[in-house]
Amino acid sequence: MPKPPCRPPNRVVRQSKADRRSSSRCARVCAAIIVAASLLPSLSLAAESAEKTRRASNESRKATSTVPPGRCVSQGGQWPPFWLHGKLPRRSPKGGAQELTHCRVYKDRTCCGRDNSDHAIVSTRRLVVGGEPTDDCIAKWEALQCATCHPLIGTQHGPPAICDSFCNAIFSACGAAFFAADGSSQHIFPCGRRDTLCARLDSFASSGRQFCQLAGFDWLPDSHGAGVERRGGRGEEMGGREGEGRGERFCFDGSLTAAASKARGGHKGGGGSGEKGVDEEEEAEEGSSGWWEQWVGIERGRPFGGNVVWLVCGLVLTAGLTYLRWVGARSRRRRAAMFALRRVEARARQQQQQAEGVRARQQQQLTEAVGPAAPASVPSTAPTPAHATVATTTARSSARQSARLPASPPR
């Protein structure tokens, strides 16, 4: 009768079922990790935008009480905060996270970073795409958006101040362009693709002063744009708290050449007063701020940047891959243990069969050596003589006595 096929023991079956359950659990965990990693950037960006809006609304109020004169002050409102908030204006870094992508006329000395220049690019692009402007309007609007990167504008408290002549020039050049209004801030901005209600600029404002105020800027007479001087040595502008008290606040008149020359002259930090130059102070401040804060973008209360989002996503994916690797290694170890158990059982079964065969051959050899068993004798019914019976009894008794008595010692 053939033997039934070899089946693994119950514990091996339980191990294989456990492996299947572990694989399904691992698949669910991986799916959850992938979904969380895909949703994390959008949630982080939404939280970041809300945090930026909240901080920008409170930036102007905090700046008046914490930032000394002559240092970068975030404008608040619709403008992103400066990455050098509370510090002296300096040269824009090359190839870093805060490199200027626009408004590079102020790269020698500015308070702006990449967020500020990107904001100017987006605003100009909105005007070009949906505002139907003229070339003169585009050039003047671009200069207006870059006014916040001016070293004198960036160190003043409050909204960026624009001279009356430049406000009138922009209003006359962009009067036929289309703009839209923000219901929450009551400010106007160029019409975009998603804006449903747009109108010409001359329907929102009737003068350059009104236009600048509706756009979120501050209006000042032209006399504040030409008679501004810089204090030698430390690069502090007349226009901080002291200048505001005397009515000497600086306004931007749209002259990019003059602005660039002032920025270069202020960056060199001359003066014969014997004080430290601006470059030396910038190097000292850069050394005091840690590289981690500059990379993450949380210096001076700034909200988290996109680097943190990708950092968290990378950590989540790394943890998921590490878990998958651990589960795979455990499954391979269990599979190897199961195969080893099967090999041991098969070897033990083979040895048992060999032992049974050896015993069968030994029994056969023993049977052949002894020979066949003698047949049982049939008792005779004939009467036995009396002398034969007596002899047999005597022999048996003598044999018993010889077996009981010990052997005599030799003499």
pLDDT digits (tens, 9 = 90+) for 19-53: 666 667 767 777 777 777 766 666 666 666 666 66
pLDDT at 352: 92
pLDDT of residue 389: 56
For 174-207, the pLDDT digits (tens) are 989 999 988 777 788 898 888 888 899 988 998 9
Q: Read off the pLDDT of each residue in 327-345 and give the average, rounded to a whole number.
A: 91
Assess whether pLDDT exceeds 50 at residue 301.
Answer: no
- Name the pLDDT band for 69 (thresholds 50, 70, 90): confident
**Mean residue pLDDT across the chain:** 72
81: pLDDT strictly greater than 80: yes
pLDDT tens digits along 146-182 = 888 888 888 888 888 899 999 999 999 998 999 998 8
- Residue 79 pLDDT: 82
Torsion of CA 60, 64, 65, 67, to 10 degrees: 100
- Please count the other Cβ atoms lying within 10 Å of the Cβ belonging to residue 303: 19
Give the Cα separation of 56 and 74 in Å (integer): 8
Report the percent of the chain where pLDDT is more than 70.
Answer: 58
Give pLDDT, residue 235: 36
Residue 267 confidence (pLDDT) above 50? no
Q: What is this structure's pTM? A: 0.48
| pLDDT value of position 309 | 77
Give which of 204, 192, 52, 46 is closest to 123, Cα–Cα.
192
Is the pLDDT reported for residue 226 higher than 80?
no
Assess whether pLDDT exceeds 80 at residue 77.
Answer: no
What local confidence, expressed as pLDDT, does residue 386 receive? 52
Say whether pLDDT at 116 is over 80: yes
Mean pLDDT, rounded, for 312-335: 89
Query: What's the mean pLDDT in 378-400?
Result: 56
Q: Give the pLDDT of residue 243.
A: 41
Q: Give the model's pLDDT for residue 167.
A: 92
Residue 106 near residue 259, CB atoms below 8 Å = yes
| Residues whose CB falls within 8 Å of the CB of residue 165, separated by 6 or more in sequence, listed in order | 222, 225, 253, 254
Per-residue pLDDT for 348 more than 90?
A: yes
Average of pLDDT values for 270-274?
A: 36
Q: How confident is the model at residue 280 (pLDDT cuts 50, 70, 90)?
A: very low
**pLDDT classification of 266: cutoffs 50, 70, 90:** very low
pLDDT-based confidence at 270, cuts 50/70/90? very low
Q: How does residue 137 score in pLDDT terms, banded at 50, 70 and 90?
A: very high
pLDDT band at 340 (very low <50, low <70, confident <90, very high): very high
pLDDT(1) > 50: no
Across 342-371, b (16+ Cβ under 10 Å) vs e yields eeeeeeeeeeeeeeeeeeeeeeeeeeeeee
